[in-house]
Structure 1
Amino acid sequence: MVLLFLRQPPDPKLPIANLPSVVEVDRENASVDDLVNAIRLPTNLSRSRIKIFLASSKTVLVPDSPLNAYDLHDGTRVLVKDLGPQLSRRTLLMTAYSGPVFIHILFYYCQSWIYGSNFQHTASQIVAFTLINLHFAKRMFETMFVHVFFRITVSFYSVYFYILHYWILSGFFMAYYIYYPSCVGSPSMSAIVGSSSSSKSIANGICSSSVSLLSSSADTEETSLYFLSAVWIFAELSNFETHLILANMRLRFPRSTMPSRNVLVRRAGGDPSSQSYNLRSLSSASQLASTMVSYSARRIPKGYGFDWVSCPNYFFELVAWTMIALITRSFASLLFLTASAMQMWRKAVRKHEMYKKEFGTQYPKFRKVLIPYIK
Structure 2
Amino acid sequence: MSAKNQGNTFRLEVLKARGNGVLTSIDNISPDTTIAELKKRVAQQKSQLYPDRQSYRAEPTGKSVKDTQKLSELNVDKTKKIYFKDLGPQIGWSTVFVAEYAGPLFMYLLFYIRPSFIYGSSAGSKPMHFAAHLGAACWTFHYAKRILETLFVHRFSHSTMPLFNLFKNCSYYWGFTALVSYFVNHPKYTPPSFGYAQIYLGLAIFILNEIGNLSIHLLLRDLRPAGTNQRRIPYPNKNPLTNLFHLVSCPNYTYEIGSWLGFSLMTQTLTALLFTFAGTVQMTIWAKQKHRAYKKDFPDKYPKQRKAIIPFLI
Q: TM-score, normalised by structure 1?
A: 0.70
Q: 1:223 to 1:85 in 2, by over 3 A?
A: same
Q: How does 1:98-247 map to 2 (within 5 A)?
A: 98-116=102-120, 117=122, 118=124, 119-169=126-176, 171-183=177-189, 208-209=190-191, 211-212=192-193, 215=194, 221-247=195-221
C-alpha displacement at 1:167, in angstroms?
A: 0.7
Alignment coverage as a number of residue pairs? 291
Deviates more, 1:127-136 or 1:356-365: 356-365
Q: 1:295 to 1:239 in 2, by over 3 A?
A: same
C-alpha displacement at 1:342, in angstroms?
A: 1.2
SS of residue matched to 1:154: strand
Structure with higher helix content: 2
Structure 2 segments unaligned to the other structure (5+ residues): 77-81, 237-241
Q: RMSD over aligned Cα, in angstroms? A: 2.7
Give the Cα separation in 1 of the matches to 2:21 and 2:169: 27
2:202–2:264 contact (8 Å) kept in structure 1: no
Q: Amino acid of the residue matched to residue 187 of structure 2? A: P
Encode CA deviations 1:323-354: one digit per residue, 9 max, x unaligned. Answer: 11111221211221111111111111111112
1:19–1:42 contact (8 Å) kept in structure 2: no
2:17–2:85 contact (8 Å) kept in structure 1: no
C-alpha displacement at 1:58, in angstroms?
A: 4.1
Is 2:309 the counterpart of 1:370? yes
2:220–2:234 contact (8 Å) kept in structure 1: yes
Give the Cα separation in 1 of the matches to 2:260 and 2:116: 28
Q: 1:15 to 1:133 in 2, by over 3 A?
A: farther
Aligned to 1:89: 93
Q: Amino acid of the residue matched to residue 368 of structure 1? A: K
Q: TM-score, normalised by structure 2?
A: 0.83
SS of residue matched to 2:261: helix
Encode CA deviations 1:183-205: one digit per residue, 9 max, x unaligned. Answer: 3xxxxxxxxxxxxxxxxxxxxxx
Q: Amino acid of the residue matched to residue 173 of structure 2? A: Y
Give the Cα separation in 1 of the matches to 2:313 and 2:28: 49
Percent identity (aligned): 30
Encode CA deviations 1:213-246: one digit per residue, 9 max, x unaligned. Answer: xx3xxxxx22322222122111111111111122
Give the Cα separation in 1 of the matches to 2:165 and 2:200: 38
Give the Cα separation in 2 of the matches to 1:295 and 1:222: 48
Q: Which has the higher contact order (CA 8 A, sep 6+)?
A: 1
Encode CA deviations 1:157-191: one digit per residue, 9 max, x unaligned. Answer: 1122112211111x2111111111113xxxxxxxx
Structure 1 segments unaligned to the other structure (5+ residues): 184-207, 216-220, 253-293
Is 2:222 the counterpart of 1:248? yes
Q: 1:9 to 1:324 in 2, by over 3 A?
A: farther
Aligned to 1:264: none
Aligned to 2:43: 40
1:236–1:317 contact (8 Å) kept in structure 2: yes
C-alpha displacement at 1:54, in angstroms?
A: 6.2
C-alpha displacement at 1:15, in angstroms?
A: 6.8
SS of residue matched to 1:96: helix
Q: Which has the larger radius of gyration?
A: 1
